[in-house]
Amino acid sequence: MQVAVPLFPRMTALDAIGPYEVLQRVPDIDVVFVGERRGEVRTENGMLGLSVDATFADIPSPDVVVVPGGIGSRALLAGGPLVDWVRAAHPGTRFTTSVCSGALVLGAAGLLDGLTATTHWGAFDVLARFGATPVTQRVVEHLPERIVTAAGVSAGIDMALRLLELLVDDVAAQAAQVFIEYDPQPPFDAGHPSKVSDEVRARLAEYRTVRS
Amino acid sequence: MQVAVPLFPRMTALDAIGPYEVLQRVPDIDVVFVGERRGEVRTENGMLGLSVDATFADIPSPDVVVVPGGIGSRALLAGGPLVDWVRAAHPGTRFTTSVCSGALVLGAAGLLDGLTATTHWGAFDVLARFGATPVTQRVVEHLPERIVTAAGVSAGIDMALRLLELLVDDVAAQAAQVFIEYDPQPPFDAGHPSKVSDEVRARLAEYRTVRS
């Protein structure tokens, strides 16, 4: 089973690495990082380089697609090689999925029209432009349509565990979860804007790469 | 503030990328990925390449060190450039930290002798060899000694939020948490071996790169 994760400039690393880490140890699954050209891409702030190992043309028929987000996704929405690849791959996949603002790429490929979907809370307005109905939910799945979308950044870990359950079984998912010791204990209950104070929201507005 | 994250062959990517994603947007923090030499290192199974941007010699005095784990950490325990760098950097850091079996590197550097510490559940026996007392806890902190260790893989996210609270304040930590939408909803309660069935443990034993 081939899982393809596209990488692009100014992406958010954890969107891709969370699902990769869940899926990569299952003996029947190979994860391949694809992109417009082989070589390094850098994340939003330039602080991290990740390697693209295969071009879109090299991987025309992946079984699963996991599209990460990040502010770099905004530059892709007018169309281009990634959107074209997702659109062409989707009819042959078992699941076409996204994490965070990766949902916008699925939207641009025309895959979310008429469906509920989720994305990073900061991208709900853009998602709606593609005919999707944004919903505040950790993971949104449409099994007949083979489309699964996850909320922001860390939600890709939860989504990938569910994907393993769908692709293999619940034992496989639990085995992955125990390996990555995913027994989360966040020190705050601050995982969504609705849960934090104005002071926290003001601080966030000062952070790097929060707005494109 | 400079946060240095060493990368090495056969590491576990999420150990490093979880903390990076928490810390990287704070305006005063720069995260730099260091290693024995610049260029790509590959994770346990070879499926992912990450870029080392600076050598250990380039970054002699980081403010914070976050050492990831992975089965590749086992090859480092006899000593070598990473262990030497951690030992030399520690007296000048605000915090010297580890995720997963990265704790073994701190142990090999002599930093855990006489302390409680945590690591991936599969590495408890090795950790004890370095004079540490392994404890089953998500994050173990020794503030006078400036040593913080996290449990396996995904625990680095929880640790990094706590580090932000210590380095800046709780508002900074919550702002990072809301940005990465860390409102975890794992589909199973399977985050530790004590929580899963024999069937799950047997499946895990078939997974790739679970044993070195």
Q: What is the pLDDT of residue B212?
A: 44
First-to-final CA distance of chain A: 35
Which residue from A17, A27, A183 is facing B17, i.e. has the nearest CB?
A17
Q: Phi, psi at residue A64, to the nearest 5°? A: -135, 140
CATH of the domain at B127: 3.40.50.880
Q: What is the pLDDT of residue B211?
A: 55
Q: What is the pLDDT of residue A171?
A: 98
Give me the numbers of helices (H) and strands (E) for chain A, helices first please. 7, 11
Report how many domains make up chain B: 1
Yes or no, beta carbons of A179 and B206 under 8 Å apart: no
Classify residue A194: in a domain, yes or no: no
Classify residue A200: in a domain, yes or no: no
A162 in contact with B, Cβ within 8 Å: yes
B193 pLDDT tier (thresholds 50, 70, 90): very high
Q: Compute the distance between CA of residue A23 and CA of residue B22 in angstroms, rounded to an integer.
A: 22
Helix (H, G, I), strand (E, B) or coil at A91: helix
Yes or no, beta carbons of A12 and B24 under 8 Å apart: no
A45 in contact with B, Cβ within 8 Å: yes
Q: Compute the distance between CA of residue B178 and CA of residue A204 in angstroms, rounded to an integer.
A: 8
Q: What is the pLDDT of residue A208?
A: 82
Classify residue B122: in a domain, yes or no: yes
Classify residue B115: in a domain, yes or no: yes
Q: What is the pLDDT of residue A209?
A: 73
- Considering chain B, what percentage of its residues have pLDDT values greater than 70? 99
What residues in B contact A153, CB-CB < 8 Å?
21, 179-182
Which residue range(s) make up the domain with B82? 2-185
Classify residue B196: in a domain, yes or no: no
Region A174-180 average pLDDT: 97
Classify residue B211: in a domain, yes or no: no
This prediction's pTM: 0.97
- Considering chain B, what percentage of its residues have pLDDT values greater than 90? 96
Q: Compute the distance between CA of residue A191 and CA of residue A152 in angstroms, rounded to an integer.
A: 10
In the predicted model, is pLDDT for residue A90 greater than 80? yes
Which residue from A139, A191, A199 is facing B182, i.e. has the nearest CB?
A191
Classify residue A13: in a domain, yes or no: yes
B63 pLDDT tier (thresholds 50, 70, 90): very high
Query: Could you read off the pLDDT of A14-26 as tens digits, one per residue?
Result: 999 999 999 999 9
Mean of all residue pLDDT scores within chain B: 96
Q: Phi, psi at residue B33, to the nearest 5°? A: -95, 120
Which residue from A181, A190, A210 is facing B152, i.e. has the nearest CB?
A181
**Does residue A100 carry a catalytic annotation?**
yes
Bridge-based pairing state of the strands B2-6 and A147-150: unpaired
Classify residue A197: in a domain, yes or no: no
In the predicted model, is pLDDT for residue A212 greater than 50? no
